[in-house]
Structure 1
Amino acid sequence: MHLESRNNSNLSSRKANTRKLTVVGMLSAISIILGLTGYGFIPLPGVKATIMHVPVIIGALIEGPVVGICIGLIFGIFSVFQNMMVPSLLSFAFMNPLVSVLPRIIIPIVAYYTYKAVPIKNKNNPVKIGIGAALGSLTNTIGVLGMMYLLYAAQFAKARGIDSSLAGKAIFGIGVANGIPEAIVAVAITIPIVLSVRKIVKHKQSS
């Protein structure tokens, strides 16, 4: 009886690990495809909201922060190489892992633990999921732009053709203009996907 219980436990553990690896691979691939195809940007009035970080949030809320960190790491590394291969005005900043990678591995930590901290017992409550998604998205905006300001304020100003003393205001403006729409879009996408995946997993476990 004890041996059977241990075997069942090992089987469940292997299934869980396989599921997590599958989620990492699938969501990382989605994030990369969004970046390569340009579909990772949603045109809104006056701005383009990126959704490339949304798979990182979804992974963290479905399978926990470790899975989210793995997806964020892959997304960040891809961002570095993408800016090396296809340089843009601000690629000098995004080639630095402190700008492209570090904030992306912090996203799932903030998203997951914010979600867990919301004092609502029902884990499938849309408000609970939405708050985690919103804070995770804002972490991406604040982390990337914050590191850019700390490390490359002068170069940013030069690239944008403005006085270096205005770099902080310009970066803050970008953060507000992009960060809020991106958070709203992240919430709108994350809630139904997380609820749907959990429903499917629950159905498979009960069958």
Structure 2
Amino acid sequence: MKEKKHDTRWMVCVALMAAIVIVLANTPLGMIQLPVIKATTVHIPVILGAVLLGPLAGGILGGVFGICSLISNTMAPTLLSFAFSPFMSTTGLPGVLKALWISVGCRILIGVVSGWLWKLFEKVHLNQTIALPITGFVGAMVNTVTVMGSIYLLFAQQYAQAQNVGITAVWGLIMGTITASGIPEAIASAVLVLALGKVLLRFMKRI
């Protein structure tokens, strides 16, 4: 869609998408528990919101996703919850800030990057059938790469301790997670953003 005015309709649409994010984040469909980390599909409505409503909306929805992730990792902690919840920090204020960046900051980037990427595709008139899955794939990879990359840069020692491995093994484990979890998530995101995005874009043109 073209540039949206931040009017009541825009705010209502953002609120509705935020509600979807919250519902997904609090059901098994949104946060799939794996042995070490929680795989997610919550980034999909964030990406769709960015496509339909712009980068600002995408950033807001990403922030909602991040807050839900923070709460989930606080209430139902896993081995890596120290990297997502400031309340699980064992390294004081620096750990709190790092966890906030990973749980919330990285998720805001999903919406911002997806929104601006979609604007670029609109500007060059790229066909929606190509632009939507690319946006979905990139948005999902922004989530995985920024989160896991930040864990490597900010929490490598704690990650090694949680996994009971040497610090030199952390890079391989991070890349393994990106490959085993991130790429399938991104492929699923590409398919779903294409399927849902085409329908929603047609609907938004009518209102």
Q: Shorter-chain TM-score: which interval?
A: 0.7 to 0.9
Q: What is the alpha-carbon distance in structure 2 between the residues aligned to residue 74 and residue 162 of structure 1?
A: 33
Percent identity, please: 36
Q: Which structure 2 residues correspond to residues 58-69 of structure 1 after superposition, within 5 A?
A: 58-69=48-59
Deviation at 1:61, TM superposition (A): 0.3
Q: What is the alpha-carbon distance in structure 1 between the residues aligned to residue 103 and residue 59 of structure 2?
A: 13
Is 2:204 aligned against 1:201?
A: yes
**Aligned partner (choices 74, 80, 83) of residue 90 of structure 1:** 80
Deviation at 1:88, TM superposition (A): 1.4
Partner of 1:155: 158
Q: Which structure 2 residues correspond to residues 27-176 of structure 1 after superposition, within 5 A?
A: 27-41=17-31, 49-95=39-85, 96-118=99-121, 120-121=124-125, 125-176=128-179
Contact 2:54/2:116 (8 A) holds in 1: no
Partner of 2:95: none
Is 2:186 aligned against 1:183?
A: yes
How many residues are aligned here?
Answer: 188
Q: What is the alpha-carbon distance in structure 2 between the residues aligned to residue 20 and residue 193 of structure 1?
A: 19
Equivalent residue letter for 2:17: L
Deviation at 1:203, TM superposition (A): 2.7
Structure 2 residue runs without a partner (length 5+):
86-98
Q: What is the alpha-carbon distance in structure 2 between the residues aligned to residue 65 and residue 151 of structure 1?
A: 27
Q: What is the alpha-carbon distance in structure 1 between the residues aligned to residue 80 and residue 194 of structure 2?
A: 32
Higher radius of gyration, 1 or 2: 1
Q: What is the alpha-carbon distance in structure 2 between the residues aligned to residue 29 and residue 89 of structure 1?
A: 28
TM-score w.r.t. the length of structure 2 is: 0.82
Deviation at 1:113, TM superposition (A): 2.2
Partner of 2:93: none
**Post-superposition CA distance 1:92-146 (Å, at most 9, x none):** 0111111111111111222122233347515x61101111111111000001111
**Post-superposition CA distance 1:149-207 (Å, at most 9, x none):** 11111111111121121011101110111111111111111112221112122233xxx
Contact 1:114/1:131 (8 A) holds in 2: no
Q: What is the alpha-carbon distance in structure 2 between the residues aligned to residue 87 and residue 49 of structure 1?
A: 14
Q: What is the alpha-carbon distance in structure 2 between the residues aligned to residue 79 and residue 136 of structure 1?
A: 17
**Aligned-pair Cα RMSD in Å:** 2.4
Equivalent residue letter for 1:148: I
Is 2:11 aligned against 1:25?
A: no
Structure 1 residue runs without a partner (length 5+):
1-11
